[in-house]
Structure 1
Amino acid sequence: MSEQPSLNWDLPDPFTMTITVRPDDTDRLGHANNVVYVRWLEDVSWAHIDSLGMTWALHEQTGKAMAITRTEVDYLMAANAGDELVLGTWLTDWDGRFRSARQFQLIRPADGRTLLRALSTHACVDLRSQRPSRAPAEFARILSSAMVTGGRGFPG
Structure 2
Amino acid sequence: MPRVYTWRFNVRSYEVDRFGHVNNAVYLNYLEEAATRASADAGFDGAWYDAHGCMWVIREMHVRYHEPAAYGDELEIRTWVSDFRRVRSHREYEIIR
Mark yes or no: TM-score above 0.5. yes
Matched, 1:100 2:62: no
Per the alignment, in what secondary structure is the counterpart of residue 106 of structure 1? strand
Q: CA deviation at 1:28?
A: 2.1
Unaligned runs of 5+ in 1: 1-10, 109-156
Match of 1:83 in 2: 73
Q: Percent identity?
A: 35
Q: Which amino acid aligns with 1:107?
A: I
Q: How many residues align?
A: 97
Matched, 1:55 2:45: yes
Counterparts in 2 of 1:72 and 1:55: CA distance versus 1, 3 Å:
same
Q: CA deviation at 1:81?
A: 0.9
Q: Hey, what's the Cα distance between the residues in 1 that align with 2:17 and 2:91?
A: 27
Greater C-alpha Rg: 1
Per the alignment, in what secondary structure is the counterpart of residue 60 of structure 2? strand
Unaligned runs of 5+ in 2: none
Give the TM-score of the pair, scaled to structure 1: 0.58
Runs (4+) of structure 1 exceeding 4 A deviation are none
Q: CA deviation at 1:103?
A: 0.3
Match of 2:54 in 1: 64
Q: Hey, what's the Cα distance between the residues in 1 that align with 2:52 and 2:4?
A: 27
Q: Which amino acid aligns with 1:67?
A: V
Q: Hey, what's the Cα distance between the residues in 2 that align with 1:90 and 1:76?
A: 20
Matched, 1:19 2:4: no
Contact residue 21 and residue 70 of structure 2 kept, 8 A: yes
Cα distance per residue 1:22-43 (max 9 Å; x no partner): 2211012210011211111011
The structure with the largest strand share of the pair is 1
Matched, 1:36 2:26: yes
Q: Hey, what's the Cα distance between the residues in 1 that align with 2:29 and 2:18?
A: 18
Contact residue 2 and residue 82 of structure 2 kept, 8 A: no
Q: CA deviation at 1:12?
A: 7.1
Q: Hey, what's the Cα distance between the residues in 1 that align with 2:4 and 2:52?
A: 27
* Higher RCO (CA 8 Å, separation ≥ 6 residues): 2
Cα RMSD, aligned residues only = 1.5
Per the alignment, in what secondary structure is the counterpart of residue 86 of structure 1? strand
The structure with the largest helix share of the pair is 2
